[in-house]
Amino acid sequence: MTSSTPGPAGTTTSPEADFDPLVLGRRIRHLRRRRGWTLAELSGAVGRPVPYLSQLENGHVEPKLGLLGRIAAALDVTSAELLDPTPPDRRSELEIALTRAQDDPRYRELGLPPLKVSSRVPDEVLEHLVGLWRALEAAHADRGRHGGVDSARRANIALRAEMRARDNHFPEIEEVARRALDAAGYAGTGPVSERVLTEMAAWLGFRIERVAQMPRSARSITDTRDRIIYIPDRGGLRVRQARSVVLQTLGHFALEHRETRDFADYLRQRIESNYFAAAVLAPEEPAVAFLREARDAEDISVEDLKELFYISYEMAAHRFTNLATVHLDLPVHFLRTDSEGVIDKAYENDGLVFPAADDGGLE
């Protein structure tokens, strides 16, 4: 429709504002059939050809206001009744719903042939088709709400599979860590000192500063403009923790990480920076030499690895999984649970079966 009428405060309102061609068409068809008229009889009454009126009833054209008035008069109803935004009956409601569904890009992606919504399609078929489409819409909306969770789960599963395939050993990161240690003057044995850590930061263009009153939620803050890594003072972050925190930050720069695009990128970068920190704090060459000696003596202990390099027990366990299979030919598994036994971190290449969902995600 093309006309408009004056509205309050000098504005104009258009009948098109709430106008739905599909609903209007079905209302005209319903009222015509209720009167017992054919399209030809309505055509004679309003002076418009049958093909045009057929298009109108199917929602493909919009009548001008004058024609709408003539149709209303011919069918003995008001224009307001024709423009009622509700479908006239259940059949019309289903026809409208299926027509709209077939116009939806998601429906078209299904690759189904178009279905002409004619009077020959039984009501029960329409009910089934519309019901199926609404179920698909609901599932799509649910995926939208939980898409972040699903993508995170898929990223975790994919990364765990890659780690298993590589025996949790990343030689390219080991090499970056070795170069950084050489540049920082690491002696080649024993724990990495704060001096070595400071030299390594300088080699990567950073300096480390301890500060008081860091936010409780932050273990470090990196000033990328002035190239400063701030960490809490010794009362807030002990030496063992401080080394790990600084190296995880430096790892992003040593490994030339870029801005993440999605959760999978974020997860990979986090894993890689943690790996870098462990590869620096328990360097591959002395760690492997120690583990081989312990294996030959049949006295391998993660606790001893922890003490030798002054690292946390968890890092020592992780580091053991990095080196055991590649260098000692020992398949292993790693498992961390909460106080109730729920798994929150796991790795295996020894065939141990963890509780998992059908998609491989840990439960």
pLDDT at position 78 over 50: yes
Which part of the chain has CATH 1.10.260.40? 5-88
Residue 274 vs residue 213, higher pLDDT: 274
Q: Is residue 129 within a helix (H) or strand (E), and if so which, with residue range?
A: helix 123-165
pLDDT score for 269: 94
pLDDT at position 183 over 50: yes
Considering the entire predicted model, what is its pTM?
0.59
Q: Is residue 335 within a helix (H) or strand (E), and if so which, with residue range?
A: strand 333-337
Contacts of 31 (CB under 8 A, 6+ apart): 75, 77, 81, 82, 88
pLDDT score for 28: 94
Q: Domain 166-330's class?
A: mainly alpha
The yes or no reply on domain 5-88 and CATH 3.20.20.70 is no
Which part of the chain has CATH 1.10.10.2910? 166-330
Tokens of 231: 């960490």
Q: What is the CA radius of gyration of the chain?
A: 35
